[in-house]
Structures are given as C-alpha cells and as structure tokens.
Amino acid sequence: MFDRLLPKVIDNTYRGQKPGLWLFGLLVLMKLVMSMGIIFNGANTAVRADGIPLDTYPAAAAQTIVALFALYGYFTFVICALGILVLARYRSMIAIMFALLLVEHLGRKLILQFLPIVRVGAPPASAINLGLLTLILIGLALSLWPRKSSEGPR
C-alpha cells in the first residue's frame, strides 16, 4: 500500500481500481469549476455558498474577505492544474494527490475549528464539502486498492 501512495517510479501507470481514476477526474473537474467561481465571483460565493454576511462588514473588510476567497480559489486552481497533469502524464501519483486533497480538506476544517467564520443561516457549502470529503476518501481507498492485473509477483 505504501508503494502505491509513494511510488518509487513516477510514470503514467495507474495501479489502483479504475473507478478511483474516474473519481479523481471528477473531483478535479468539480474543484476546478468551484475555483473559477470563487476567483471570478468571490462575493457571491462568500454570501450564498458560505453564508458570510458581507453586507454587515465595512467595505474594506468585505473587500479583504473577497480577496482572500479569490486567493484560496487560485490555490485550488493550481492544485487542479497539478491534478490535470497527473491525469494526463503521471497517473502513478493519483493516490498521493488524493492524500494531498484529504490533508488540505482536513487542515481547513481544523483551522476553522480554532478560527471560525461568522456565518448566517445554513449555507450549502457544508453539505458540499461533506460530499467532497466522502468522494476523496472513497477515491483514496480505490487508488490504494490494487487491481488484480497490477499486483504482480510478491
């Protein structure tokens, strides 16, 4: 399992279960679309998806929040670009990319436990993030689970 997570050779051979490959592509596409929405429409994302009451903050504070959202969206875009590269050329890294997505997701959750964001209502971002976390966990398990044809001699 550890060899599939950190392969000795980085090539275009995916050794996990085929649905894990498709799940990774789906996650990269979803996060890419989300990152574009955050970069180009951060204020709307902050208010509608995350329930942040931007209109209650001074204009400079609201602008800072939107800028921080855009910066996070750009970070996500870069991770997605790396994911596209992995899908196209370095598929043996898919398990480590799932692990990276998991660490990023859980790290954000941990930080928000200590530095919570003031939100109003029941924003849909929580449900969406739970769904993404579920897909990441399933994808990681599938990418670490070897196909019969890739096990080889032991």
Give domain status of residue 87, yes or no: yes
Give domain status of residue 61, yes or no: yes
Give domain status of residue 124, yes or no: yes
Give domain status of residue 4, yes or no: no
Report the domain count for the chain: 1
Instruction: Give the three-class secondary structure for 91.
Output: helix
Give domain status of residue 7, yes or no: no
Q: pLDDT per residue over 58-85, tens digit each?
A: 999 999 999 999 999 999 999 999 999 9
Tokens representing 41 are: 């429409």
> Which ranges of the chain would DSSP assign to H, the alpha helix?
2-5, 18-40, 42-44, 59-89, 94-114, 125-144, 148-151
Give domain status of residue 6, yes or no: no
**Residue 130 belongs to domain spanning:** 16-145
Q: Do 54 and 127 contact (CB within 8 A), yes or no?
A: no
Give domain status of residue 78, yes or no: yes
Q: pLDDT per residue over 104-141, tens digit each?
A: 999 999 999 999 998 998 899 989 999 999 999 999 99
pTM of the model: 0.89
Place of tokens 């009451």: 53
